[in-house]
A and B are shown apart, each in its own frame.
Chain A
Amino acid sequence: MIKLLYRRLMQAIFVAWSVGSLTFLLMHLLPGDFAYRIAAGRYGYDHVTQAAADAVRLELGLDRPIWQQYFAWLGDLLQFNFGNSLVSGAPVLQEIDHQLGHSLQLALYAVVISLLIAVPVGIYCGKRANSVADRFGLFTSVMLRAQPVFVIGLLLVLTLAMNIGWLPVAGFGGSQYLILPAIALSLSLAALSNRIIRNNTHQVMHSSYLQFARLKGLSEQQAFDRHAAPNIALPVIAFVGVQAVSLIEGIVMIESLFSWPGIGHALAHAIFGRDVPMIQATALMMGLLFVAINTAVDVIGYLLDPRQRQEVEYAEV
């Protein structure tokens, strides 16, 4: 368990380091004088003078050698000291504080809906492998997987929001604004996970331990609940971790499409506006969210599956 958490901690450090280094590079690649830009952010573009820029340079230590600035930059990052947005001038921390909650909400709903779709469909198709229903499930999954998640979102907007007018096209407000983005994201996740569940179910249904459970006299339902369900569930949980990448990437795309005020939308906006402190903070949050999902999946798998506990212990010896 300790080893598991240690690995994820290392991942979090890598995230912070690569985001910090890339944004430091970005800051220094931007055209123009660094000190001038910050002074302009503070006092407004009309009030920037050479003296003001020099004062900023002295205060922030921008005259130091580049490697000293680099370590100071990383130090600030580790203390979550992100500075102010170059566009709005507000503290970055305050902005992402709101956004993080919205992103987490969207992610949670998307994962839950995707499981609500994928688990029943996967088990149904897995119990009837190669039937018409199974083939239809495969066809739909392949079709959904061949589209980027934003195309799924786009199609949902065009049909459900614009033509029929059931739901709002984009924006933020009551719960009706959450429905379309969450469904779009969950459909793209479920397109893959329902096939994983289907293959698992198929395998478990033909396993010797399930046959034995039936032979010793358990009813079909009892055998499924006691022997099949746990073995189907475990790989599914592990797969949620694998899908963390698609989830994070999907959040960026879907939030941008639906103008959902989350971290992903903020990241795309910040990159477009070349707002380096915001880029840094939002990319870091996305990376840490990724690590957090993976950690949660690791821990749940560890707690549920005795075999994993043994494996980790063996690995430690």
Chain B
Amino acid sequence: MLKFDLRAPTTLLGVFLLFALLILVLFEQLAHGVDGTVQLLDNAFALPSWQEPLGTDQFGRSNLARLSAAIQISLWMSLLCVITAATLGTVAGIAAAWLRGWVDASIGFVVNVLMALPGLILVLLIGALFPGSFTALYIAISLVLWVEFFRVVRAQTLSLLASPEIEASRLYGFGPLYLFRRHLLPRLLPSLLPLACFGAGNAILALASIGFVYVGLQPPRAELGLMMVELFPYYSDAPWVLAQPVLCVFALILSFNLIAGGFRHDH
């Protein structure tokens, strides 16, 4: 059965990191109340103070407000992508394994086309089609992510459908929906949940990566990769400002990877 081992120190650290970032966002939303797009050029690179706990950037914008916006974009993007990819991958995987024949063959064809290119190149190309569009990036990253879900679900469903318990249930006359709920889902979840966590980390990584090469979301949007490349020229003036988005990406990806490791198979 599936067990989520929260007592493992590494998992605990992962959950803690994610909560810390969420609390930062919550604090900014409730108590800070400064618009992250307002520029105060005479206040550039102000040191942290009571009004600006994380200081200001090269245009005098509030770092806290911008970081919070960037973390929200990253988390929303990863959440949407993972839900879409997991749903699509699971439905397509079960359909392919259940129906075989031309359904399996045609989904397999689509997967082969998608896997032929490295994921980031595909995301870059789609990003080029619709510059700066959140929706286009969401579709592109989901397209890359769902393949992994599909392959795992298809392989497991194939072997599960041949198992005696499902054969028995089918002979009793239970419908596909019951089989899915009772037999397939409980057996698939232990592999789906860690995949989802790694997927979330990868979505954040992809978004930051294309932001970093200036192809993703466009300024003045606050996005972690974009913030890094914007702040890099000011490294010697304010290294501590550059460190903020770097640390955020690091904490986000690390936390999802650690949480993914917390799901253990209990045989």
Of the stretches A51-59, A66-74, A283-291, A307-315, the one at the interface is: A283-291
By CB atoms of chain A within 10 A, which of B117, B129, B250 has the most?
B117
Q: Are A18 and B117 in contact (CB under 8 A)?
A: yes
CB A150 to nearest CB in B, in angstroms, measures 5
Given contacts A147-B250, A151-B250, contact A287 B116 (CB under 8 A): yes
Measured between beta carbons, the chain B residues less than 8 angstroms from A147 are 249-250, 253
Q: Are A162 and B236 in contact (CB under 8 A)?
A: yes
Give the CA-CA distance A29 to B121 in the complex, in Å. Answer: 19
CB A159 to nearest CB in B, in angstroms, measures 11
Interface residues of A, count at CB 8 A: 43
Of the stretches A122-130, A209-217, A271-279, the one at the interface is: A271-279
Of the stretches B56-64, B92-100, B167-175, B204-212, the one at the interface is: B204-212
Q: Are B212 and A148 in contact (CB under 8 A)?
A: yes
**Residue among B113, B120, B253 making CB contact with A17, cutoff 8 Å:** B113
Residue A142 interfacial (CB < 8 Å): yes
Residue A104 interfacial (CB < 8 Å): no
Residue B19 interfacial (CB < 8 Å): no
Residue B262 interfacial (CB < 8 Å): no
Residue B119 interfacial (CB < 8 Å): yes
Which chain B residues numbered 71 to 124 have a C-beta less than 8 Å away from chain A? 112-113, 115-122, 124
Interface residues of B, count at CB 8 A: 36
Given contacts A14-B113, A147-B250, A268-B214, contact A248 B121 (CB under 8 A): yes
Q: Mark A7-43, 1 if CB is under 8 A from B, else 0.
A: 0001110110111001101100100000000000000
Given contacts A23-B125, A148-B205, A272-B214, contact A18 B236 (CB under 8 A): no
Q: Are B213 and A253 in contact (CB under 8 A)?
A: yes
Q: Are A245 and B118 in contact (CB under 8 A)?
A: yes
Given contacts A148-B249, A150-B212, A252-B213, contact A11 B112 (CB under 8 A): yes
Q: Are A272 and B215 in contact (CB under 8 A)?
A: yes
Residue B6 interfacial (CB < 8 Å): no
Residue B254 interfacial (CB < 8 Å): yes
Q: Are A146 and B112 in contact (CB under 8 A)?
A: no
**Residue among B116, B126, B213, B249 making CB contact with A15, cutoff 8 Å:** B116
Q: Nearest CB to that of A246 among chain B residues?
A: B118
By CB atoms of chain B within 10 A, which of A271, A279, A283 has the most?
A271
Residue A229 interfacial (CB < 8 Å): no
Measured between beta carbons, the chain A residues less than 8 angstroms from B254 are 142-143, 146
Residue A256 interfacial (CB < 8 Å): yes
Residue B235 interfacial (CB < 8 Å): yes
Given contacts A142-B257, A148-B208, A253-B212, contact A154 B246 (CB under 8 A): yes
Which chain B residues numbered 139 to 180 have a C-beta less than 8 Å away from chain A? none
Given contacts A14-B112, A147-B253, contact A283 B213 (CB under 8 A): no
Given contacts A154-B232, A290-B117, contact A256 B212 (CB under 8 A): yes
Q: Are B125 and A19 in contact (CB under 8 A)?
A: yes
Residue A249 interfacial (CB < 8 Å): yes
Measured between beta carbons, the chain B residues less than 8 angstroms from A18 are 113, 116-117, 122
Q: Are B128 and A279 in contact (CB under 8 A)?
A: yes
Q: Mark A229-270, 1 if CB is under 8 A from B, else 0.
A: 000000000000000110011001100110000000001100
Give the CA-CA distance A257 to B205 in the complex, in Å. Answer: 16
Residue A158 interfacial (CB < 8 Å): yes
Give the CA-CA distance A146 to B117 in the complex, in Å. Answer: 24
Some 26 contacts from A to B, beta carbons below 8 A apart, are A10-B112, A12-B116, A14-B112, A19-B117, A19-B125, A26-B128, A142-B254, A145-B253, A147-B250, A147-B253, A148-B205, A148-B208, A148-B253, A162-B236, A245-B118, A248-B120, A252-B121, A252-B213, A253-B209, A268-B214, A271-B127, A271-B213, A286-B117, A286-B118, A287-B118, A291-B116
| Interface positions of B (Cβ within 8 A of A) | 112-113, 115-122, 124-129, 205, 208-209, 212-215, 225, 228, 232, 235-236, 239, 246, 249-250, 253-254, 257-258
The 6 A-B pairs with the shortest beta carbon distances in the complex, nearest first, are A146-B254, A14-B116, A249-B120, A268-B213, A248-B118, A271-B128
